[in-house]
Chain A
């Protein structure tokens, strides 16, 4: 509260103190409220993993997000430009676009999804191990764009849970980069699009 600082004269609100919890008891008997908090992504069973370590791991993971090489259409060319020498997402550790979903941290769905491609998108998404994030690139994957036809799924969020949408046709590499920054924020927070979901939207739609 020095003079000249932004909070002169204002009491900065302090976070409420964490309640004292008996560690042994928490491990054995998590309450319903604790479980709900975990499911909604707001915390973890207290005492199992220290909160700071989690944040440190997420911070590190955000610098090494390896997307699945999943360019479908025109947006793939802009994604390649983003990985190219001018915008160079290798600075953020993302140039390692993995071909195998088992080694990937997430997907960049770049392009429209046709009826034929939809089961493949679903299978690839489900093969990526947790934790995973999905960035949907371009208007086609966001909502179908101008392709409101008999063969195009109107948006990838009809089939898989999506974290970040990057509109554009195609979005400039800077726009994709901003989307990737938002993904990195999600990685740091440890939040996922599938938090709170029991299954992916495609299976919900079918009734599985």
Chain B
């Protein structure tokens, strides 16, 4: 059922890939095309540089950050965390995915300077995975109570049971 030509990039995405590889070369650690989508893996040091170029380049024009979120691969011992950004270009209707891999405890610079919508995204990624974003104006719990213990979306956090927090009866302090 799965055909090889399902993964082929469209012409517009092929030019995007060409431009990014010519600009960044070796800094794109991995490039993959799956189901017609372009995914690039970069190192944490090049995260902001690549995102800035994608946004500011005249030809690429990725003016919107559709979402930024994290993922946890416990089987990867050296770099278990991943931060993924899906970018969209509204005038060209193209999409690209930039990913970076992080070690436990490694932090990433914030993208809120590029797109203010990354504010909530990065807060959620921090509270679910524990990935710190340097320079974020307000890195606090967003969806959970402010004194929640643990990072729920990590694979070793239990799904069931109120393990991170307890039912409180008062509104004192930040909820």
Interface residues in chain A, defined as those with a beta carbon under 8 Å from any beta carbon in chain B = 115-116, 118-120, 122-123, 148-151, 153, 158-159, 202-203, 205-206, 208
Contacts and interface: CB of A to CB of B under 8 A. Distances in A.
A115 B167 contact: yes
B159 A118 contact: no
Contacts of B148: 115
Interface of B: 143-145, 148, 152, 157-171, 175
Dominant secondary structure of chain B at its interface with chain A: loop
Contacts of B159: 148-150
A119 B163 contact: no
B170 A119 contact: yes
A206 B158 CA distance: 23
Given A150-B152, A150-B157, A119 B175 contact: yes
B164 A150 contact: yes
A206 B165 CA distance: 13
Given A150-B157, A150-B159, A150-B164, A119 B171 contact: yes
B170 A116 contact: no
A159 B170 CA distance: 12
A77 to B, nearest CB: 22
B166 to A, nearest CB: 8
5 contacts: A115-B164, A149-B160, A150-B160, A151-B152, A158-B167
B141 to A, nearest CB: 9
A115 B165 contact: yes
Given A202-B167, A206-B166, 19 more contacts: A115-B145, A115-B148, A115-B164, A115-B166, A119-B175, A122-B169, A123-B171, A149-B159, A149-B160, A150-B161, A150-B162, A150-B164, A151-B152, A151-B164, A153-B162, A202-B169, A205-B167, A206-B167, A206-B169
